[in-house]
A = this chain, B = another copy of it.
Amino acid sequence: MDSEHRHEAGANQVPGQLKGFRMTRDRRIILQVLRESGIPLTAEDILERVNATMPDIALSTVYRTLDELVSRGSMQRTLLSNDGHAFFELVGHAHRHYMVCLGCHQMFPIRKCPVEDSVDSAAEDLGFEVTDHSLVLYGYCRHCRSGRQSPGSDQRIR
């Protein structure tokens, strides 16, 4: 082994650090699905959409790709449902905040954060330095509002 002239996968690889990332066909498709989606997706959501384009990608590959991207910081994992599903979305495309409809169980992105500053300053009064926050609104979307009998007849998400 030529120890003073070995191959380096990345430009500045540090021992014990992140390994090289290869842009494979599978990953390209997975990323495209995430780029095209306006809302966070679960691993199975992604597989479903990926297979519409290019079948025979394993679920474990989807999970591994997502993990990889999360640890590289370009993907975000958000827990929103109470049935144990994790949702993922690209950081660049992250809307950060969502409204979840308790009627149809769909998620609607909120473009701009309605709480930005008030939150941070309130917490900082308590000695807490805020670096991030998550906000989810629960309720009923335009469609479910109209056809709805009474609140509470639906099962809770949260």
Contacts and interface: CB of A to CB of B under 8 A. Distances in A.
Interface of A: 76-82, 84, 86, 99, 101-102, 108, 110, 114-115, 118-120, 122-123, 126-142, 145, 151, 158
Contact of A115 (B115, B131, B134): B115
26 contacts: A76-B158, A78-B158, A79-B79, A79-B80, A84-B84, A99-B123, A99-B126, A101-B128, A102-B131, A110-B122, A110-B126, A114-B122, A115-B135, A119-B135, A127-B141, A128-B137, A128-B139, A128-B142, A130-B139, A131-B140, A132-B139, A133-B135, A134-B135, A134-B158, A135-B135, A135-B136
Given A102-B131, A114-B119, 19 more contacts: A77-B82, A79-B158, A84-B84, A99-B126, A101-B128, A110-B126, A115-B115, A115-B119, A119-B135, A120-B137, A123-B137, A123-B139, A126-B142, A127-B141, A128-B137, A129-B140, A131-B140, A134-B138, A135-B135
